[in-house]
Structure 1
Amino acid sequence: MGAPSPGDDLGTAGKAGKGQYELFAAREAERAARANRTLPPELRLFNYERAPQCREAAGIWTRGSADGTCPELANLAGVIQQCEAGDSMVLPMWRQTRATPAAAWGPWEQIDAGGCGVDLLPVLTEADFRLLPLPAPALTLQPDRGWVLINIETIVSTDPTPVTLRTELLGYGITVEATPTRWTYDFGDGHTLSTRSPGHSYPDHDVFHEYENPGTTTITLNAEWTGRYQIDGSPIWRDINGTANTTTTSPPFTVEERTSRLVADLCTDRPKPPDC
């Protein structure tokens, strides 16, 4: 049987390039094989099996065995691919079809080129990442008493601790580690501040704002998250290509202007003196 080229069943998707196609086709083949195993054997119209591509002495290409060996006098074919530490090569996928459950099985056909194990697993995309229940960022104010003073530092900070989440994609369990890496504060008076520091409390504070005019306002904090994920059964952690955002807003508070003046008596006296 002649060896099919990786682009034989590519169609218009072949414009993406041979390397990109091989990885995409392998993932699709793996997903189809997993779905096929959910059907009773007697009802299946497809059989899937990973086996090597072998070349006989006469130059004829043939399918090897699922244990990774080739028939006698045939050699293993294919280019050795370097995989990440802890990962391993996966053999090409072959498919056998029949028109109906009562029909005879057709010949085996190679439908992907195999590759590194992690490359055959589903990819957690930016869109998937943004659907996860990431927590709203913690927002701490100093002072936190319902009012602040103009021209005095209003200190803000948040919690930079990563969070671990569990999700599922195409039947695979996935662990996601999300880390907030950038924070943007909207102070409600037309001023914003973007920083990679989570902030610190007084007197080591490094993220703050000084209001210029009295009034009532809120502070809105937007956290930008990056992430990585690990699929159950794989030792490899992969970075998520993209970010997600979560937002929280403080309760309303007043910005006040206080002035000092001399008084005849203590303002703590009762009754309070009229000049206080």
Structure 2
Amino acid sequence: MVTAAIVPTMTVTVFLTTPARADGDPAFGGHLSEQSAHISASRAEELGRANLSVTPEQRLFEYERAPFCREAAGMWVMGMEDGSCATGADLARASVQCEEGDTLVMPMWRRERATAASPWGEWTDIDAGGCGVDLLPVLTAEDFRRLPLPAPPLTLQPDRGWVLVNIETIVYTDPAPVTLRTELLGYGVTVEATPRSWTYDFGDGHTLRTTSPGRPHPQHDVFHEYEHPGTTAITSTAEWTGRYQVDGSAVWRDVDGTATTTATTTPFTVEERTSRLVGDLCTDRPTPPDC
């Protein structure tokens, strides 16, 4: 198992119904102040987590997930942190359908104050909630490619430092998945990577792309016949797909993209041999002169 750290970039679109002042939370460009601001559930979660780095006494913002509740007068208000509503208020039904094994996430509410000595303002909802997986960081293709994926070992047959012209040179590799651990935005992440195809460069101008990892002789199905003597090496480029699971979630998600690794054999010679009749065994000692 390999561990790596990733700090991904994130693009966030923020919708504001009224202009924000420039003297508040830099994530919004200012205070909310009785305006309605809605962002993605994952962005709201990120802001809430970042806010915990400020001591409670010095915080100008507070975040809390709670349901929408409707009072008898028809007003929508913030419910309790445990998911219930105050006496006389009805709980709004969630229309979100989550994947099996996932959990429903309540809306995020936020309140603010101008200074640490000022009273807190009213709670305002800033996201509509969703599924637990929506709050988790996404492992991008760029993140996947930065992981230390081990190149599948490349085996050559025959492996004796030389091969023969016009005779099959066999190659095969290990298709086993690998499991790695990394971190995204403070979350532990398990990544499972699987090689799905291989491209072989045989060093003589010929290449081969295959989804077979190959097999050793005599069941071999990936091979090449060299046409001319010389010195060369074989390079295999493996293409990997991946899926990942964020700690605390039962959901596995596919990586939207692939990664590649390469492995190269030790240089070897391609030789041309001719046969002829000899009077004695060439294994004799001393070696017969006609061998």
TM-score greater than 0.5 by the shorter chain: yes
Q: Provide, for residues 39-95 of structure 1, a one-character-per-residue CA deviation record: whole Å limited to 9, x for no partner.
A: 211111110000111222332221111111223332222542111111110000001
Structure 2 CA distance for aligned equivalents of residues 215 and 152 of structure 1: 14
AA paired with 2:43? E
Contact 1:224 1:243 in 2 (8 A): yes
CA distance in 2 between counterparts of 1:162 and 1:86 reads 24
Which has the higher mean CA deviation after the structures are superposed, 163-172 or 100-109?
100-109
2:260 equivalent to 1:245: yes
Tell me the residue number matched to 2:16.
9
Partner of 1:101 in structure 2?
Answer: 116
Q: Which amino acid aligns with 2:224?
A: H
Looking at structure 2, the residues matched to 177 and 271 of structure 1 have their Cα atoms a distance apart, in angstroms, of: 58
Question: Is contact 1:45-1:97 (8 Å) kept?
Answer: yes
Counterparts in 2 of 1:10 and 1:163: CA distance versus 1, 3 Å? farther
Matched, 1:180 2:195: yes
**AA aligned opposite 2:273:** R
The alpha carbon displacement at 1:273 in A equals 3.4
Letter in 1 for 2:16: D
Do 1:93 and 1:112's aligned partners in 2 also have CA atoms closer than 8 Å? yes
- Aligned to 1:43, the other structure's residue is in SS state coil
- State the SS of the aligned residue for 2:57: helix
Matches of 2:75 and 2:198 in 1, distance apart? 61
**Alignment-derived partner of residue 56 in structure 2:** 41
Give the structure 1 partner of residue 31 of structure 2.
Answer: none
TM-score normalised by structure 1 residue count: 0.89
CA drift at 1:25:
1.2
- For residue 272 of structure 1, report the CA deviation from its aligned partner: 3.2
Does residue 65 (structure 1) correspond to residue 80 (structure 2)? The answer is yes
Gaps of 5+ in 1: 1-5, 12-21
SS in 2 for 1:185: strand
CA distance in 2, matches of 1:93, 1:78: 16
* 1:165 and 2:142 are equivalent in the alignment: no
Give CA-to-partner distance per residue, 1:202-244, whole Å, 9 cap, x none: 1111111111111000000111111111111111111111111
Partner of 1:81: 96
Match of 1:267 in 2: 282
SS of 1:41's partner is coil
Gaps of 5+ in 2: 1-12, 19-37
* Aligned match of 1:17: none
Which residue is equivalent to 2:270? 255
Measured in 2, the distance between the counterparts of 1:117 and 1:263 equals: 78
**Separation in 1 of the partners of 2:114 and 2:161?**
73
The Cα shift of 1:182 comes to 0.8
Amino acid at match of 1:172: Y
- For the structure 1 residues 187 and 230, does the alpha-carbon distance in structure 2 shift closer, same or farther, using more than 3 Å as the test? same
Alignment-derived partner of residue 43 in structure 2: 28
Task: Measure, in 2, the Cα distance between the counterparts of 1:224 and 1:62.
Answer: 51
**Cα separation, 2, equivalents of 1:45 and 1:183:** 55
Can you list the C-alpha shifts for 1:168-189, whole angstroms capped at 9, x where unaligned? Answer: 0000001111111111111011
123, 145, 148: which one aligns with 2:163: 148
Q: Show the 5 A alignment for 1:203-218.
A: 203-218=218-233
More helix by share: 1
Deviation at 1:8, TM superposition (A): 4.6
**8 Å CA contact 1:137, 1:222 repeated in 2:** no
Residue 105 of structure 2 corresponds to 90
Q: Equivalent residue of 1:32, what SS?
A: helix
> Normalising by the residue count of structure 2, what TM-score does the alignment of the two structures yield?
0.85
Percent same amino acid among aligned pairs?
70
Letter in 1 for 2:250: P
How many corresponding residue pairs?
A: 260
Q: Deviations over 1:77-116 (max 9, x none)?
A: 2542111111110000001112222222111111101001
The aligned counterpart of 1:137 is: 152
| Alpha-carbon shift at residue 10 of structure 1 (Å) | 8.1
CA offset digits 1:101-147 (Å, max 9, x no partner):
22221111111010011111111111111111100120001100000
